[in-house]
């Protein structure tokens, strides 16, 4: 059955901060994407090491993988129609120059840490009132911070706090943990099972967190200003397209945001 956009999806995205377009990738394209995605997974570990969780951008490796299926994905009408129905005109739901592939580690489980994109790019000590005021201006601007995971195999790696995109402030118990080294590698005496339990508990301890479940061919779009994280398991094969929904106003904003971040870091150094 072909994917059909429904009006309730708009409300769900605005209120919860994410929506999953189930089985939006046709089977024939899914097969082609898997074939080249499997090559990209192997290449990711060759290029970035056995514990890596991504290879990006895929366009850089066009001499080693066939990008044609990914270009067909970029042009898929159902995705374009669904994103336009969700967000309006002016959005590009897939970008071959940005797109990466999320993969599983080869050796042991690990956790990337809870974070909010945008905010995580600035050290905690540099998040002064001036930076917060800038972020407050764009927090609810739908042109920015729409991220995509599109699964080629079943994928339950992403955890998310629904509704947290609706507030820039953090609630008790919400804490960025991307710099916690214990989430990336446990003590040498720990088995993979012990490490898996440890990072799984870290996911569950975030107030309001849910584990998202993507079936093959599912397209998840989410507001990545919300709290989210990834838990990566070596026994669970993963090949998930990772991208953003870009807007025609994105490039000028990116230049401005780079300057705002640099200024905030400089103010921190000057204090």
User: What confidence tens digit (pLDDT) does each residue in 81-110 have?
Assistant: 999 999 999 999 999 999 999 999 999 999
pLDDT, one tens digit per residue, over 219-265 is 999 999 999 999 999 999 999 999 999 999 988 998 999 999 999 99
pLDDT tens sequence across 117-164: 999 999 889 999 999 999 988 899 999 999 999 999 999 999 999 999
The confidence band for 1, taking pLDDT boundaries of 50, 70 and 90, is: low
Output the pLDDT for position 198: 97
Kindly tell me the sign of the dihedral angle through the C-alpha atoms of 105, 108, 114, 120.
negative
H or E element at residue 145: none
The values of phi and psi at residue 48, to 5°, are -110, 0
Q: Exposed, middle or buried, 172 (CB in 10 Å: 0-12/13-18/19+)? A: exposed
Give the pLDDT score at 23.
96
pLDDT recorded at residue 67: 98
Query: Whole-model pTM?
Result: 0.94
3-state secondary structure of 261: helix
The string of pLDDT tens digits covering residues 169-219 is 999 999 999 999 999 999 999 999 999 999 999 999 999 999 999 999 999
15-59 pLDDT per residue, tens: 999 999 999 999 999 999 999 999 999 999 999 999 999 999 999
The CA distance from 186 to 108, in Å, is 9
Percentage of the chain surpassing pLDDT 90? 92
Segments making up each domain of the chain, as ranges: 8-270
Measured between its terminal Cα atoms, the distance across the chain in Å is 60
For the domain with range 8-270, which CATH number is right: 3.65.10.10, 2.140.10.30, 2.60.120.620, 3.20.20.210?
2.60.120.620
């Amino acid at each position: 059955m072909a994917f059909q956009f429904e009006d309730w999806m708009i409300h769900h995205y605005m209120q919860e901060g994410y929506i999953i377009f189930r089985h939006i990738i046709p089977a024939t394209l899914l097969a082609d994407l898997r074939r080249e995605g499997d090559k990209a997974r192997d290449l990711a570990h060759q290029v970035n090491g056995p514990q890596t969780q991504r290879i990006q951008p895929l366009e850089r490796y066009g001499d080693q993988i066939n990008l044609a299926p990914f270009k067909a994905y970029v042009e898929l009408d159902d995705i374009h129609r669904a994103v336009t129905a969700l967000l309006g005109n002016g959005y590009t739901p897939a970008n071959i120059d940005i797109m990466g592939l999320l993969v599983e580690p080869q050796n042991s489980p690990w956790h990337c840490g809870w974070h909010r994109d945008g905010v995580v790019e600035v050290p905690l000590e540099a998040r002064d009132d001036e930076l917060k005021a800038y972020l407050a201006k764009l927090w609810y601007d739908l042109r920015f911070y729409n991220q995509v995971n599109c699964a080629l195999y079943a994928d339950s790696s992403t955890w998310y706090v629904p509704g947290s995109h609706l507030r820039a402030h953090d609630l008790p118990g919400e804490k960025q943990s991307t710099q916690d080294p214990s989430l990336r590698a446990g003590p040498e005496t720990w088995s993979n099972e012990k490490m898996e339990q440890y990072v799984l508990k870290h996911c569950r301890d975030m107030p309001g967190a849910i584990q998202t479940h993507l079936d093959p061919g599912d397209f998840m779009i989410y507001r990545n200003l919300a709290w989210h994280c990834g838990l990566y398991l070596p026994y669970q094969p993963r090949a998930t397209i990772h991208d953003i929904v870009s807007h025609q106003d994105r490039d000028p904003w990116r230049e401005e945001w780079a300057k705002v971040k640099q200024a905030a870091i400089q103010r921190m150094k000057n204090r």
